[in-house]
């Protein structure tokens, strides 16, 4: 095991100084902290804005919330959970799993709750990050951003919304104190969250108006309970669960071929069509629920009870665009006014904008969001030119449409640990990816996107950024990303000396190249 103690720390003790600061205590932050703990690195803290860890699985507690990736795969490889109750885990179990993992590795004591990140700026003169939180200022040698792409709810700018007199909330911040029983409820959005909570609230509300902008492709959810016998076997024979995990991974991995070659989507499109037509017998309703784009262009959803819920007499599917919101009603552009008591947004998150971009300032004070200009780029989704000693977890082009994001997170964490080992072995204080390496990497990613289901045939989805590029997803097999991040290549970086004046061998060249 490499000795990572070679990374220097400033002598001053005010403000408090850390070797490594991690932003966010969700899947990414916990994975990073667990790796540090396994490497016996203790000089780090996690800054979490909320009062508990869990990230998106803490915040998204709406009725019916569950994962659409199989449980065995949507968990850390280094900390399997033999106690999953379902093949697709419900939100409470995932949240409990993350808390249990944090407790097991002694991570919880490293979390500073209620510390909302206000700004993190690179101090060139001290070769460190200055981190301003809502509860104090810290400095750190290295900064790891693990805020995740599903942290900032997206709420459309609808005329009159501020004047609505009823209750309004987003699925990512569900108001559990509000009783929907007997109310007239408007649900705006038909994405991954809405198809889960709509069937849950439909039986209790008086009227449910579901406002759909785009019909999603929906497949059957092959969920089943995991028996007590299976759980006992997993506890006694961990290799059996690893084998199951591997089989699920391979099965999911093979599906990417259809995303890369859209002509292969013909079969899943037919299967989804048959599934919809079997559950929706009304011709007009079926027409409204038929997508007008290629299967896979947007996120593919899974549900067994969404379509049946829409056939109930108290549900109306509205496909006309919203014109304005009045104090007690919603008016669509065709002039129809519908009285509502509560508005629930199921409109997803600001994925391509990346929350961290609003708070991170790199060399010369440049704001990451200004540098990106609506089109995020990073080297291997992890490091950014002009931002020394910064790592991004679930950065640009690390999202997936076919497999588990946890696999990508673990790949990035392994890459970060390789970088730290190299820095320690060479007594290096700072690193920064070369602009040329970053540009070549992102050019290659976008070239691989050409002809895929995400960019062909006029596909328009939240995967695309402000410039129309898919900077959200990884365009291919996840094992290729794992191979890219397995080893740290110092030739792609520029390094700086530590406070003893020495530095590693691969440091030649200006950082702008």
Question: Are both 323 and 398 inside the same structural domain?
Answer: no
For 276-333, write each residue's pLDDT tens digit.
999 999 999 999 999 999 999 999 999 999 999 999 999 999 999 999 999 999 999 9
Question: Are both 174 and 318 inside the same structural domain?
Answer: yes
For 322-371, write each residue's pLDDT tens digit.
999 999 999 999 999 999 999 999 998 776 667 788 999 999 899 999 99
Question: Are both 470 and 489 inside the same structural domain?
Answer: yes
Residue pair 382/392 in contact (Cβ under 8 Å)? The answer is: yes
Please spell the DSSP secondary structure of 278-309, one letter per residue.
HH---HHHHHHTS-SS-TTSS--EE-SSHHHH
- What percent of the chain shows pLDDT beyond 90? 86
Question: Are both 197 and 302 inside the same structural domain?
Answer: yes
The number of folded domains in the chain is 2
How far is the C-alpha of 143 from the C-alpha of 392, rounded, in Å?
A: 9
Report pLDDT for 457: 65
Q: Does residue 5 lie within any of the structural domains?
A: no
Question: Are both 88 and 122 inside the same structural domain?
Answer: yes
Question: Are both 277 and 389 inside the same structural domain?
Answer: no
Question: Are both 339 and 271 inside the same structural domain?
Answer: yes
How far is the C-alpha of 63 from the C-alpha of 203, rounded, in Å?
A: 12
- Domain extent, residue 86, equals 17-152+350-497
Cα→Cα distances 500→9, 10, 124, 512, Å: 11, 12, 17, 25
- What percent of the chain shows pLDDT beyond 70? 93
Question: Are both 265 and 200 inside the same structural domain?
Answer: yes
Report pLDDT for 498: 58
Strand, coil or helix: 90:
strand
Question: Are both 148 and 172 inside the same structural domain?
Answer: no
Q: Does residue 113 lie within any of the structural domains?
A: yes
pTM above 0.85? Answer: yes
CATH of the domain at 438: 3.50.50.60
């Amino acid at each position: 095991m490499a000795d990572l103690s070679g990374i220097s720390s400033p002598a001053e003790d005010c403000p408090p100084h850390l070797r490594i600061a991690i932003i966010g205590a969700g899947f990414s932050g916990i994975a990073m902290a667990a790796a540090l703990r396994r490497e016996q690195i203790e000089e780090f803290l996690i800054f979490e804005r909320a009062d508990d860890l869990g990230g998106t699985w803490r915040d998204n507690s709406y009725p019916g919330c569950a994962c659409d990736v199989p449980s065995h795969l949507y968990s850390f490889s280094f900390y399997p959970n033999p106690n999953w109750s379902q093949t697709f885990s419900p939100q409470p179990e995932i949240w409990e799993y993350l808390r249990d993992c944090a407790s097991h590795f002694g991570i919880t004591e490293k979390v500073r709750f209620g510390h909302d990140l206000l700004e993190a700026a690179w101090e060139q003169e001290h070769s460190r990050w200055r981190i301003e939180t809502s509860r104090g200022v810290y400095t750190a040698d290295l900064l790891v951003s693990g805020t995740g792409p599903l942290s900032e709810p997206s709420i459309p700018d609808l005329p009159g919304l501020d004047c609505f007199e009823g209750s309004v909330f987003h699925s990512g911040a569900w108001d559990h104190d509000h009783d929907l029983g007997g109310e007239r409820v408007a649900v705006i959005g038909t994405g991954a969250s809405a198809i889960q909570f709509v069937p849950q609230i439909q039986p209790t509300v008086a009227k449910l108006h579901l406002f759909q902008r785009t019909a999603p492709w929906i497949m059957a959810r092959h969920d089943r309970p995991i028996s007590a016998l299976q759980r006992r076997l997993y506890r006694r024979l961990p290799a059996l669960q690893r084998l199951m995990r591997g089989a699920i991974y391979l099965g999911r991995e093979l599906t990417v071929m259809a995303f890369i070659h859209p002509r292969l989507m013909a079969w899943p499109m037919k299967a989804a069509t048959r599934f919809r037509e079997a559950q929706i017998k009304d011709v007009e309703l079926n027409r409204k629920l038929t997508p007008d784009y290629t299967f896979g262009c947007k996120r593919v959803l899974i549900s067994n009870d969404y379509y049946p819920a829409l056939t109930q007499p108290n549900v109306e599917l509205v496909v006309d665009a919203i014109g304005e919101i009045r104090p007690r009603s919603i008016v669509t552009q065709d002039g129809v006014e519908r009285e509502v008591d509560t508005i629930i947004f199921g409109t997803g998150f600001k994925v391509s904008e990346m929350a961290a971009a609003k708070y991170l300032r790199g060399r010369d004070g440049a704001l990451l969001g200004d540098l990106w200009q609506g089109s995020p780029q990073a080297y291997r989704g992890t490091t950014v030119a002009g931002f020394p000693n910064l790592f991004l977890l679930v950065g640009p082009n690390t999202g997936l449409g076919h497999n588990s994001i946890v696999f990508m997170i673990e790949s990035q964490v392994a890459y970060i640990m390789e970088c730290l080992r190299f820095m320690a072995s060479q007594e290096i204080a700072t690193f920064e990816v070369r602009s040329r390496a970053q540009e070549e990497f992102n050019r290659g990613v976008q070239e691989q996107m050409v002809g895929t289901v995400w960019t062909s045939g006029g596909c328009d989805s939240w995967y695309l950024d402000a410039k129309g590029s898919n900077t959200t997803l990884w365009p291919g097999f996840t094992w290729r990303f794992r191979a890219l991040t397995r080893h740290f290549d110092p030739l792609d970086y520029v390094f700086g000396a530590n406070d003893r004046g020495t530095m590693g061998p691969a440091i030649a060249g200006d950082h702008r190249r």
